């Protein structure tokens, strides 16, 4: 099967708008076409009660079984993303990216970590289980943060990890940390210099920084799919690779590693969309509020994949003071 890029390059377009629409249509056709029509009448079958094989951190046992009795699914905070990326995960390729973020840190039980994209806490759970360290998690979405903390308490992990909501524009921490990790956060912060300065302010003298984010270099800023993505996801303002390095250097952090992981990330996004489609076809029938939320998530990811097809990148970074 041809890649999206190959299909796009074969076509000619009357306008940039037409090209963007074509890219979005291809993405939906390839991986989420069925999901886009999930609310139409059809043969939904019965909900599967089998476990899906993901991490059990989210303690979602009984959710699928309950769907047999109640055909309308009302998604919990972060649950739509979990159905895409795996239980406890609200971002793509979580296990793979966690390895990329954590391995360079050489963690030990005496270190303190701050996670600025805690989500539901699955990454924190795995890390504290392996290394025995205390992790303070911060999550921009208050509802996801609340559910994540509840899951940590339910799992008996509240003495080793915590999840609290925060606004990146007003990050103030009393503790000093040996390492800070985050996922896809800086690209949507308006005052990136202030945010990075706030991170460094809560770091110990030899602290390490490990994070992933979206990058748009100068040659791609005017691509129609990237402009359409930014118009849809209005907070999206990704820096260039050079700008990212300069922002951290100004704050006293040298970014020694910057790896382009776009191809793997994009592949994992498509797998997640297919996984989600399969979940919907298993019998899960969303209520109206969940339908709206699903449509927004699918459209967001369609825009992001289209942007990646036209030059937006997904990078992993590592640096230290």
Helix (H, G, I), strand (E, B) or coil at 213: strand
Handedness of CA 266, 271, 274, 279 (dihedral sign): negative
Phi/psi for 197 (5° steps) reads -60, -35
Which tokens is 52 given? Answer: 């899906």
| Dist CA 275 CA 218 (whole Å) | 34
Calculate the average pLDDT of the chain.
84
At 38-67, the pLDDT tens digits run: 434 333 322 222 223 224 344 444 455 444
- Residue 313: in which H helix or E strand, if any? strand 313-320
Cβ-in-10-Å burial (0-12, 13-18, 19+) of 140 comes to middle
Q: 268 near 92, Cβ under 8 Å? A: yes
CA distances from 243 to 55, 217, 239, 307 (A): 36, 9, 6, 19
At 185-202, the pLDDT tens digits run: 999 999 999 999 999 999
The predicted structure's pLDDT at residue 71: 73
Which tokens is 137 given? Answer: 């998690």
Instruction: Check pLDDT > 60 for residue 30.
Output: no
At 244-290, the pLDDT tens digits run: 999 999 999 999 999 999 999 999 999 999 899 888 888 888 999 99
The predicted structure's pLDDT at residue 36: 45
Residue 159's pLDDT band, with cuts at 50, 70 and 90, is confident
Q: Write the DSSP symbol of residue 105.
A: G
Q: Of how many residues is the chain composed? A: 321
The predicted structure's pLDDT at residue 64: 52
The predicted structure's pLDDT at residue 282: 83
The predicted structure's pLDDT at residue 53: 29
- Closest to 55 (Cα-Cα) out of 108, 117, 110, 119: 119
- Closest to 184 (Cα-Cα) out of 85, 288, 278, 36: 85
Radius of gyration of the chain (CA): 20
Domain 94-217+238-263+313-320 is classified in which CATH homologous superfamily? Vaccinia Virus protein VP39 (3.40.50.150)
Phi/psi for 112 (5° steps) reads -115, 135
Helix (H, G, I), strand (E, B) or coil at 61: coil
In the chain, where the domains are located: 94-217+238-263+313-320
The predicted structure's pLDDT at residue 99: 95
The predicted structure's pLDDT at residue 277: 87
DSSP state letters, 214-248: EE--GGGTT-HHHHHHHHHSTT--PPPHHHHHHHH
């Amino acid at each position: 099967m041809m890649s999206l890029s190959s299909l796009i390059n074969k076509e000619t377009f009357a306008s940039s708008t037409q090209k963007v629409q074509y890219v979005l249509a291809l993405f939906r056709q390839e991986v989420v076409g069925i999901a886009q029509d999930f609310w139409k009448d059809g043969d939904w079958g019965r909900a599967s009660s089998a476990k899906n094989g993901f991490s059990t951190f989210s303690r979602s046992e009984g959710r699928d079984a309950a769907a047999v009795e109640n055909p309308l699914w009302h998604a919990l905070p972060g649950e739509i993303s979990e159905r895409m990326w795996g239980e406890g995960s609200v971002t793509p390729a979580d296990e793979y990216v966690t390895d990329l973020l954590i391995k360079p840190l050489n963690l030990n039980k005496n270190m303190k970590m701050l996670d600025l994209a805690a989500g539901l806490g699955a990454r924190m759970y795995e890390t504290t289980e392996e290394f025995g360290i205390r992790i303070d998690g911060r999550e921009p979405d208050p509802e996801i943060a609340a559910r994540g903390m509840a899951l940590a308490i339910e799992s008996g992990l509240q003495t080793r990890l915590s999840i609290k909501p925060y606004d990146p524009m007003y990050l103030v921490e009393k503790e000093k940390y040996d390492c800070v990790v985050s996922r896809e956060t800086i690209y949507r912060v308006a005052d990136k210099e202030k945010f990075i300065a706030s991170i460094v302010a809560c770091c110990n003298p030899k602290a390490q920084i490990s994070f992933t984010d979206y990058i748009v270099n100068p040659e791609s800023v005017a691509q129609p799919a990237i402009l359409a993505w930014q118009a849809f996801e209005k907070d999206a303002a990704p820096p260039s690779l050079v700008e990212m390095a300069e922002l951290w250097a100004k704050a006293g952090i040298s970014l020694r590693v910057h790896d382009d992981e776009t191809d793997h990330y994009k592949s994992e996004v498509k797998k997640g969309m297919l996984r989600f489609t399969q979940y919907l076809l298993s019998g899960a029938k969303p209520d109206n509020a969940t339908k709206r939320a699903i449509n927004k998530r699918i459209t967001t990811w369609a825009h992001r994949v289209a942007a990646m097809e036209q030059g937006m990148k997904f990078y992993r970074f590592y640096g230290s003071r």
